[in-house]
Amino acid sequence: MHAPAELFLASSNTGKLAEFRVLGGDAALSGARLELLPGFAKIPAFEENAPTFGENALGKALYYSRHSDGLVFADDSGLVVPALGGAPGVYSARYAGVGASDAQRIAKLLAELAAVGASQPEAYFVCVIAAARSGQALAVVSDRVDGRIAAEPRGDGGFGYDPIFFLPQWNRTFAELSPQEKNRHSHRGKAFRRFLTALRGAA
């Protein structure tokens, strides 16, 4: 089986599209072309208000696939800290409020960990990717990367919570890894490569 010739990302974000193209890599894509969903900006936005990453990703894929004749995929991802009851979880991007900066989200997370007396607790990043065609689900996959929360931000790379996501096996945070290292080991990179494999089986 072969992956579809064209995959539409349910987004208008060209930067996100470029990231997925890099994450997939030439060998993994095997000729599949990744593009933004045509007319995405004109479609009423899907509300990501489900309690799990999987429901949000699949909900987006199903919703936007009804506005396209092609295969549409969507993702949802975030940071999970068990010591905080799983927070920030699905609220990772808006943990410190809509419009908050990465620094503000990190500061809130570290403050809440200090409040519960959790020092450098275990944490993990998770990513779920779903695909659908004409309102029918085709694939849902997920992957994760485990680490700990650093006592303070380290590194200048990456984005989001990367400066405090510490990987003991490398003694570095995500923000201290090179882009190539992060793409190879990140939750999103692993999930996307798994996703492409799943599509070949469903094609």
- How far apart CA 107 and CA 88 sit, in angstroms, is 13
Q: Do the beta carbons of residue 30 and residue 2 sit within 8 Å?
A: yes
Phi, psi (5° rounding) for residue 56? -65, -45
Strands 136-149 and 165-167: antiparallel
Tell me the residue ranges of DSSP E strands in the chain: 6-9, 33-36, 71-80, 122-133, 136-149, 165-167, 172-173
- How far apart CA 20 and CA 39 sit, in angstroms, is 19
Residue with structure tokens 């010739």?
5
Q: What angle do CA 162, 78, 116 make, to 5 degrees?
A: 80
Residues facing 77 on adjacent strands: 127
Q: Is the N-terminal amide bond of 88 cis, ω within 30° of 0? A: yes
Residues known to be catalytic: 76
